[in-house]
A = this chain, B = another copy of it.
Amino acid sequence: MKPGAGPPSSRVARERAILRATIEELARSDYGGLSLERVAARAGVNKTTVYRRWETKADLVRAALASVAKSLRPGPTTGSLRGDLMRIGRTIREFVASFEGQCLTRVRLLEHPEPELAGMARELHARSLDEVFSLARAAIARGEIATEADMMLLVELLNGALHMRLVMKNEAADDVVIARYVDVLLHGTDRLKSKTQHDVAKRKGARKAAR
């Protein structure tokens, strides 16, 4: 009657296994193709155990998403905006590679079939963005950006590019790739432009280079 405070019995361990299996299945299948029997097999339990505990597939996935409380924690500031962005990039890379990341990315695309689940996944991901605000304030204090909205802009661009590359294009993103993105975010094309003008100057003899 009061198992809440008790030690983790075998029942909750089984439940954790099932939710974990759900996430892993959802990471390589998609919601429509998710089979509760495969989930049960992966969790090492009988399918009746799954069916008896959750009414529908949506309930199971809902519970599985709720169990993904592990948010992205980029940690304290590194002391520079560039360092912070690099760390955020690495954090995104690791998250996207994880089962939870793959799972969330898939569920978030279910807007039309399952709006509620998509909303849950969205909120779960948005929560990780809250952590970025502290880094934003540090960058503002250093005078590297003006507002927190600027930081959000940078993170949106970095996050989007990494997601596209890792999830949709299925290409790797090592630190060099991330650094390229970050450099654009910090300096835009201005650095690139000046480099080109330098080349032009070398080639054409510094004709208009003076101005």
Contact = CB atoms under 8 A, between A and B. Distances in A.
A151 B6 CA distance: 59
Nearest to A140: B196
A172 interface: no
- Interface majority SS (helix, strand, loop, mixed), chain A: helix
A30 B187 CA distance: 39
B145 A196 contact: yes
Interface stretch (A10-18, A48-56, A60-68, A158-166): A158-166
A45 interface: no
B164 A159 contact: yes
A112 interface: yes
Q: How many copies does the complex hold?
A: 2
A122 B192 contact: no
Contacts of A4: none
Contacts of A122: 168-170
Interface string A109-143: 11111000010001001100000000000001001
A146 B30 contact: no
A173 to B, nearest CB: 11
Given A28-B113, A143-B200, A188-B190, 16 more contacts: A29-B113, A30-B31, A32-B34, A33-B113, A111-B170, A145-B193, A153-B184, A156-B181, A157-B158, A157-B181, A157-B184, A157-B185, A159-B161, A163-B163, A186-B188, A188-B188
